Amino acid sequence: MNKPSSFDEYAVDYDAALAQGIKVSGEDKTYFAHGRVAWLARRLETLQARPASVLDFGCGTGSATPYFYKLLSVTASLGLDTSAKSIEVARQQHGSDRARFDTLAAYKPASSMDLAFCNGVFHHIPLAERAGAATIIYQSLRPGGWLAFWENNPWNPGTRLVMRRIPFDRDAIPLTPPAAGRLMRAVGFEVVRTDFLFVFPRLLGWFRPLERLLCRLPLGAQYQLLCRKSQNDR
């Protein structure tokens, strides 16, 4: 995962650094954070999956946390990150009896979580360490548990532009959707489906209702692999 020192540096100014890149879309981080979890909620509803607990792997400062409760109706969440300073910020802004945050170094997976959520994390993880990170997620889930794996789509020119504009993304190594699928299958996941989201910038916002029809085409700025752990694997 991210080197602690690199993201400790951005813990306080993370939002400003992110905004520097995504402002070309005409939106701020809340639009994308809400959109990812809302999309996931619709997919899980279709599958009649109702997770009660969620692991936010690579949670950063915890900005997705409120949406887990609002849109997924979970009862408990745990955010993990390698950056101790980011975890401090997450606890201050979003921590509660139900929403906990901890460093990855202090965490031991226990096959107990219903859902894992991971957004824009793996392109920061060195290639040799990605399988290990995916294994931690797999071992954190109960049998039949779900993983919503979100990553930046390197096939989208706008995504590459945005990543060049964000200081902590410039040296990242993106994953193509097929590479992400191979990685998840290698550690035991079934990839249930792949969706692409965030096709249209705000300037073309009137076309956004079409995104549900375009979600299987590799056009969006991000993609979600919805994965499932085997019911028989503990």
DSSP codes of every residue in 118-164: EES-GGGS-GGGHHHHHHHHHHHEEEEEEEEEEEE-TT-HHHHHHHH
Sheet containing strand 141-152, strands side by side: 99-103, 76-81, 53-57, 113-119, 141-152, 222-228, 190-197
CA–CA separation, 139 vs 135, rounded Å?
Answer: 6
Q: What's the pLDDT tens digit per position in 90-108?
A: 999 999 999 999 999 999 9
pLDDT at 80: 98
Cα separation, 164 vs 171, in Å, equals: 8
**Angstrom distances, CA of residue 104 to CA of 79, 149, 199, 227:** 9, 18, 33, 22
Closest CA to 204 of 25, 14, 29: 25
The pair of structure tokens assigned to 232 is 């028989």
Give the chain's mean pLDDT.
Answer: 90
Q: Which amino acid is at 230?
A: S
pLDDT at 233: 78
Residue 64 token pair: 């997705």
Residue type, 197: L
Instruction: List pLDDT tens digits, range 207-228.
Output: 999 999 999 999 999 999 999 9
Helix (H, G, I), strand (E, B) or coil at 212: helix
Distances (CA, A) of 128 to 1, 120, 125, 131, 210: 10, 17, 8, 7, 38
Residue 21's pLDDT band (cuts 50, 70, 90):
low
Residue 231 is given by DSSP the state T
- pLDDT above 70 as % of the chain: 88
All structural domains of the chain: 4-228 (3.40.50.150)
Above pLDDT 90, what percent of the chain? 77
Q: pLDDT band for position 2 (50/70/90)?
A: very low
The C-alpha atoms of residue 16 and residue 3 are separated, in whole angstroms, by: 20
Q: How many CB atoms lie within 10 A of CB 187?
A: 18
Q: C-alpha distances in angstroms, 125 versus 53, 100, 155, 192?
A: 25, 23, 19, 24
| Cα atoms in the Cβ-side hemisphere of radius 13 Å centred on 83 | 26
